[in-house]
């Protein structure tokens, strides 16, 4: 039984199809709100004080937003590129030298950006 599922942030969306998983207006009367498993219908039922009602269970779908999917796809692509370059750098000294030059240039760029933002 799922009572609530909430999506938060910009990367998770949730949907449900108006599931009603519990009885409202519990008065405390004897037997009211009791739950049982009905083997005939193979499902849960709740007693409302007069009769048994099947507990309506529904599917809750969780998914990533398209922004999150795009970000993960981009990160996966970049990771694959880095692995391929590292593999090539291990076999070819010229590639290793160029990768070192790129790392040095990126560090110099980070320093310059930090200095101009002061």
User: Which pLDDT belongs to residue 42?
Assistant: 79
Which residues are registered as beta bridge partners of 60? 16
Distance between CA 2 and CA 6 in Å, rounded? 11
Confidence of residue 17 (pLDDT cuts 50, 70, 90): very low
User: Any idea where the domains of the chain sit in the sequence?
Assistant: 12-63, 66-116
Decide: pTM greater than 0.85: no
Beta-carbon contacts of residue 10 (< 8 Å; ≥ 6 apart): 65, 67, 68
């Amino acid at each position: 039984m799922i009572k609530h599922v909430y999506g938060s942030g910009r990367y998770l969306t949730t949907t449900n199809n108006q599931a009603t998983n519990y009885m409202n207006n519990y008065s405390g009367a004897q037997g009211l709100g009791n739950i049982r498993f009905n083997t005939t219908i193979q499902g849960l039922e709740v007693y409302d004080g007069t009769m048994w009602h099947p507990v309506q269970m529904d599917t809750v779908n969780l998914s990533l937003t398209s922004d999150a999917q795009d970000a993960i796809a981009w990160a996966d692509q970049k990771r694959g590129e880095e692995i391929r370059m590292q593999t090539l750098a291990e076999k070819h000294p010229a590639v290793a030298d160029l990768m070192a030059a790129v790392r040095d240039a990126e560090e110099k760029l980070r320093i310059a950006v930090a200095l101009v933002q002061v």
